[in-house]
Structure 1
């Protein structure tokens, strides 16, 4: 097997302390739970869920960018009184049907091993009672409820890992706007808002993953990212288990941090040397809930499964996003996708969870076949149904002891070698129904 270059390990409590510089922080081994997990659920939920129009960037598109998006301007003009302000949406963010136990059951049924909830998006509204976000948080306004804490308890009761998304910047915070006006030579926002809130959030909720975002307008030196991460890795209550991404300042993405996001919906195309994650959304046009979304704008289940398979074969984790409504329900179509992923993983999860990339990631003879490995087994995942009753795999090197099975099928499959030193032709049975239109062959005693 090709050496797997990702730095992944259990972090020892006796490890040397990390210094607030990238050479030290980047050398920290990634806690092993993350690479083994492979699949997570992303949840974009906040005040932006109330208008449920355009995307979670609605406020910026309406009143931030120049010129404003005419669709957003018309939406407000046609549906709200002339004096209506975006902050008025907070009073309509009731979350009255939010049942964290039900959400956690759905996420568990998806097969996901971790969940990442938006603690704060770019609009600045926190889904918990942040002492640094007075009257612009889910306890003082809207739901009058600690959404972060309530969901976290339900998630952990199901033995899932819990992560929190946090935007470094806030579109309209006056301290941030003043720092921006001063070309980020001042740090009033970071000193008095961002960092106290981050420290409080970590100590209070102890997330095992911090999904940082909103970093691109200023360098990491403005955000004090390395100081925060050094504290996180050395002295925080989650110092041994926490995982971070790479969005800690302009130019950091795909270069610094824990694992790499690089960009939204990133796919490297080949096996990278660093652990990475693909974040993507069932709704291809938005991360937050849109009341006007259409079926053709959503990823169907086979597309989701194929995307998951390719991501894992290339050594990545797959973070699949859903956007709940402002009343606290997960739209049925999103639930259907998540449960569909879980149904596929119930049969094929052996090839996904705790797997490693193989020496060859993909071959395409008559259909695309993606490879993963675990121990002495190789998994060949067919992301399309073969049109013939045989399948040729040219890469595996077989021996007389080699064995081929189909996950979810009771009997070994017949096969024959193609060349003396490699390749085999597999006789396929009638393939059983697969909710994701993908099937997994398990090859034992092959190289």
Structure 2
């Protein structure tokens, strides 16, 4: 099995990535805001799933709030009818890219195929379950790749190798145990997913492949369509490329956590913490400002992750039309000046020992070391900071 490698310079220096969860689920744009993943009991989570991108699963759980919403608003229409209703008429990838750059994005990773099985490009073998064949009737991935790279940002792809409800059918997942029991493991799905990812590599040469959930077990055995063969092709095509750790096999270049889930992965350096601005990744029209991170909360989260050796992967969930929702844009534009000031002070960073700095008159603070000194982020302008060994202090106050 392909072994993980040391992170390339770009990934080691990166501190902020952006997910983009966009799909047919952006048409209803609805989920019950039940709480963050990892804080809601497993036996409650699936029927009350806060992830709008899981809409295709949640509406099939009888009695769930999402099922009731779907019956009321869409008459219980088949899920893929939402693909036909999706137009992406206001999609402006250059505008998205400019926004990401203004916040200091190092890389951007859109969903190319989520668990619903709908591909956002002309994926081989997907028939009419693509945005080229139906709905928007165009490739949504290529223009974004061009736009973010034009802004000097790395481009990656998300792919759900572990679940594809359109391919497998079957009952909805009602628990985490159901996912393991019902996820596709056979050679047919492995061949299908393998062809998809090869096509993504050949078309877009992504700097990062973010696989989700798992990979079919048939691909974990040696062979021409194995994970090992797939990643060998990827690393030959993109030598500086990296992959995450969600393959169900020890091939990842870095570990990931998600909201309050898998936080035990947040050790050492190079790990990545992902979450949305609210409880959902896909756009959820229920999430207003009270359920969305403020600029100050986002800055605090970023400083915390960076100080502990990680990278923050923050999600944006566009509307079905292709607009960044105003509630999300306000936070990003609000934090942008602060991010512009702090980002240069994350390069060459290393974690700091508790005895290397003294901070007083601050209820909260985080710190890390750089070649230029010690960076200390504090929550109060009156905070006093001193390095024990006399190194220069770069003091940064959280935004209001």
**Fold similarity call, TM over 0.5:** yes
**Is 1:110–1:340's contact at 8 Å kept on the other side of the alignment?**
no
- 185 and 317 in structure 1: CA distance in 2 versus 1, 3 angstrom threshold: closer
2:46 corresponds to: none
2:272 corresponds to: 277
2:190 corresponds to: 190
Q: Residues 157-172 of structure 1 correspond to what in structure 2 (within 5 A)?
A: 157-172=150-165
SS of 2:203 mapped into structure 1: helix
2:253 corresponds to: 258
TM-score normalised according to structure 1 size: 0.75
CA distances 1:168-210 after superposition (whole Å, capped 9, x unpaired): 03342445869x989967411112x110111011111111011
**Is 2:161–2:216's contact at 8 Å kept on the other side of the alignment?**
no
Distance in 1 between residues matched to 2:115 and 2:82, nearest whole Å: 15
Instruction: Give the structure, 1 or 2, with the largest relative contact order (CA under 8 Å, sep 6 or more).
Output: 2
Distance in 1 between residues matched to 2:218 and 2:275, nearest whole Å: 25
What is the total number of aligned residue pairs between the two structures?
A: 367
- 133 and 61 in structure 1: CA distance in 2 versus 1, 3 angstrom threshold: same
SS of 2:342 mapped into structure 1: helix
- 184 and 110 in structure 1: CA distance in 2 versus 1, 3 angstrom threshold: closer
2:388 corresponds to: 396
CA distances 1:360-408 after superposition (whole Å, capped 9, x unpaired): 48866442332222214221221x115xx56254x6212xxx555656x
2:329 corresponds to: 335
Distance in 2 between residues matched to 1:333 and 1:147, nearest whole Å: 23
1:372 corresponds to: 368
- 404 and 90 in structure 1: CA distance in 2 versus 1, 3 angstrom threshold: closer
SS of 1:48 mapped into structure 2: helix
Distance in 2 between residues matched to 1:292 and 1:182, nearest whole Å: 30
- 36 and 405 in structure 1: CA distance in 2 versus 1, 3 angstrom threshold: closer
1:303 corresponds to: 297
CA distances 1:46-85 after superposition (whole Å, capped 9, x unpaired): 111111111110110112xxx4352122112212235x21
Distance in 2 between residues matched to 1:50 and 1:272, nearest whole Å: 38
1:132 corresponds to: 125
- 246 and 220 in structure 1: CA distance in 2 versus 1, 3 angstrom threshold: farther
Distance in 2 between residues matched to 1:208 and 1:168, nearest whole Å: 18
- 126 and 35 in structure 1: CA distance in 2 versus 1, 3 angstrom threshold: same
- 265 and 153 in structure 1: CA distance in 2 versus 1, 3 angstrom threshold: farther
Distance in 2 between residues matched to 1:311 and 1:220, nearest whole Å: 33
Bigger radius of gyration among the two: 1
Consecutive unaligned residues of structure 1, counting only runs of 5 or more, are 1-20, 408-433, 438-447
CA distances 1:96-120 after superposition (whole Å, capped 9, x unpaired): 0001111111111111111111111
Distance in 1 between residues matched to 2:128 and 2:163, nearest whole Å: 15
**Is 2:265–2:271's contact at 8 Å kept on the other side of the alignment?**
no
Distance in 1 between residues matched to 2:182 and 2:81, nearest whole Å: 30
Distance in 2 between residues matched to 1:124 and 1:185, nearest whole Å: 15
SS of 1:57 mapped into structure 2: helix
Post-superposition offset of 1:125:
0.6
1:56 corresponds to: 53
**Is 2:258–2:275's contact at 8 Å kept on the other side of the alignment?**
no
Root-mean-square deviation (CA), in Å? Answer: 2.9
Post-superposition offset of 1:269:
8.1
* Counterpart selection for 2:228 from 226, 229, 237: 226
- 274 and 357 in structure 1: CA distance in 2 versus 1, 3 angstrom threshold: closer
Identify the structure with the greater helix proportion: 2
Consecutive unaligned residues of structure 2, counting only runs of 5 or more, are 32-51, 172-179
Distance in 1 between residues matched to 2:343 and 2:167, nearest whole Å: 48
